[in-house]
Amino acid sequence: MYDIIDVSEGRFGKKVLANTAIGKNMPVFRFTGKPMNFEETRKLGDKESFGLQVGDDHYIYLDEPARYINHSCDPNCGVTPALDLVTIRDVREGEELTYDYSTTMLERHWTMKCKCGSKNCRKVVRDFDQLPTETRDRYLNLGVVQRYIVEALQKNE
């Protein structure tokens, strides 16, 4: 699958680009990495965003190229519970691949000032349950919210 993407330099560091057009609902690649816990992610400093939350106290330190997928408040991809990066709309050749980091977060620790430039930019990336209801519902319907978040939401209903 890596033959459809390229890693290059962007305004926020490295970024991942589609080197061909990719249709909606297509898998791009699977996120992999070394297992970690919350305390280990805190010790990463400026690389803390390389720790993807996959459970209450379960994270993975993302391998390349996944660690270079940037956030957008209006993403073209999402991360499934199986940790596949999938397109949620058609992607043009040369377009940067992005996902909404909030769809993998429920920890009340890490936030990020957002500079994605989208007309829908929320200005701060926060936990999933702090997203506007319509945004949460959209991501849930697309199947790009981590399983532990869905389970936590169901417990709170």
pLDDT tens for 34-91 read 999 999 988 887 777 789 999 999 999 999 999 999 999 999 999 999 999 999 999 9
- Give the domain range for residue 114: 2-155
Question: Mean pLDDT in the chain?
Answer: 93
pLDDT at 91: 98
Domain count, the chain: 1
By the 8 A CB rule, do 120 and 132 touch? Answer: no
Confidence of residue 113 (pLDDT cuts 50, 70, 90): very high
The CATH number that applies at residue 33 is: 2.170.270.10
Q: How far is CA 123 from CA 40, 112, 119, 144, 153, in A?
A: 27, 8, 11, 21, 24
Tokens 């990066």 label which residue?
85
Q: Which carries the bigger pLDDT value, residue 101 or residue 49?
A: 101
